[in-house]
Structure 1
């Protein structure tokens, strides 16, 4: 029996229409989970759900904005109506949300609350909304797995993306507090901290930059390459499984050695 067997657990993955979220949804389904593929854009979620079903898995697509608590609550209810339980929530939606700005970045001291909201909305408030909406179902069934994808920027800080770093750090602190509150109900809460990963958003930027820039960036990684979505999905699957039942309140780096932690 595989230690990563998810045994028909119902799992929601937010922001799963592309990139890391897509890979997380595919991997969880491959290990037996029934997956709710969430995205702000329904057509993206539908495509990923179709991939899962075509491969023999179970999945549905659900459109929801993670910063909209009412919409998120409706997604949780639909999950339970469709699959009978809500066992795993993976908060993957991040970055600037569904509609990132194309404006050149400015020093943080020249930004406004409107600029901050783009980063804090999905990365912090979205995590709080999703966990808030999922918790009553998990408490009722006395079990659950809450997993949030953060960034090494939230662990060690990153120049140029200060508010994003703060949002991710805030999400990690929230998850630690949630772990203390919900442990008595056999609900675990953990974070996975990632570094630069070749997603459809990041890969074109790296490909377009001068080779010497890429070389300098990779010098910060002990394993001299950027991450791939499949690098993250293994640990998330472990945290979603019964094998992680005594692991909670932690942040686990998956970062190619960009930073170290005890």
Structure 2
């Protein structure tokens, strides 16, 4: 395969991507990378000012970008968002389910008590965005993708969902649930030429993580958990997400692929 042929596989010109939780971090890096491959990008974020600032920056760089604030845990708000994106940018070809953590204001690095001491009422903040938010967005775009003959869905999970984290038990379950949902969904929609894959992350230096690891000693301790001896940057997973959204990944579906600096190994 020539360089030009490979570049053609990654070309997203004429396609529209919706990225949730894209006002900063991995979502914003993904939006930039998708736009760099020619895609029109819709920036979702819980915080409207953050979404608009991100879209404005992308437009200044020459991208066709659209901002829409919405809470992905609200199914009706998600349908309204999908309608608005398709009216503003065109039919959604690529969905990146990136919104996560414990909603808009809490990092997964925030210490939590043992699972048996966590009130049942607190489970919802983890399950709502990491599992139900993924399902809401995927549910909203799927009939449209089927009608148009295909699409790409990429869901961002965590290594907590693959190997488990003792201090993040509910979060681990929510991320594992999202991965299981993607596997079942991938089999259900494959005949419609829709692919569905997950990218599992280790610690990425997003703004909340950077704040939590501001102390050099704490950061060094976390880095020692990674064979590559560094934490991820948002661009690290964005590159794989972009590939999975492209024609280069047209024969990949139902997979969970780690981008984690070697924190855990996949067979």
Q: 1:32 Cα shift?
A: 0.6
Residue 77 in 1 paired to residue 83 in 2? Answer: yes
The total of aligned residue pairs comes to 260
Match of 1:49 in 2: 55
Match of 1:206 in 2: 213
Residue 68 in 1 paired to residue 54 in 2? Answer: no
Q: Spell out, residue by residue over 1:205-257, the C-alpha distance to the aligned partner (whole angstroms, 9 max, x if none).
A: 1122x61x433322221111000001111000001111111100000100000
Residue 243 in 1 paired to residue 216 in 2? Answer: no
Q: 1:74 Cα shift?
A: 1.1
Residue 96 in 1 paired to residue 96 in 2? Answer: no
Contact 2:202 2:259 in 1 (8 A): yes
Match of 2:199 in 1: 192
Contact 2:66 2:89 in 1 (8 A): no
Match of 2:228 in 1: 223
Aligned partners of 1:245, 1:76: CA distance in 2, in Å? 24
* Equivalence map 1:92-131=2 (5 Å): 92-100=98-106, 105-131=112-138
Aligned partners of 1:103, 1:194: CA distance in 2, in Å? 17
Q: Spell out, residue by residue over 1:3-23, the C-alpha distance to the aligned partner (whole angstroms, 9 max, x if none).
A: 321122100000001111111
Aligned partners of 2:206, 2:54: CA distance in 1, in Å? 15
- Bigger shift: residues 138-147 or 97-106: 97-106
- Residue from 230, 252, 257 that aligns with 1:252: 257
> Residue 34 of structure 2: SS of its match in structure 1?
helix
Q: Spell out, residue by residue over 1:172-225, the C-alpha distance to the aligned partner (whole angstroms, 9 max, x if none).
A: 0000000000000000000000000111000121122x61x4333222211110
Q: Spell out, residue by residue over 1:116-172, the C-alpha distance to the aligned partner (whole angstroms, 9 max, x if none).
A: 111111000100101001101101101100000000000000110010000000000
Match of 1:139 in 2: 146
Residues 1:105 and 1:234: Cα distance change in structure 2 (over 3 Å):
same
Match of 2:164 in 1: 157
Runs of at least 5 residues in structure 1 that lack an aligned partner in the other structure: none
Contact 2:23 2:43 in 1 (8 A): yes
Runs of at least 5 residues in structure 2 that lack an aligned partner in the other structure: none
Aligned partners of 2:112, 2:259: CA distance in 1, in Å? 27
Q: 1:30 Cα shift?
A: 1.1
Aligned partners of 2:249, 2:157: CA distance in 1, in Å? 19
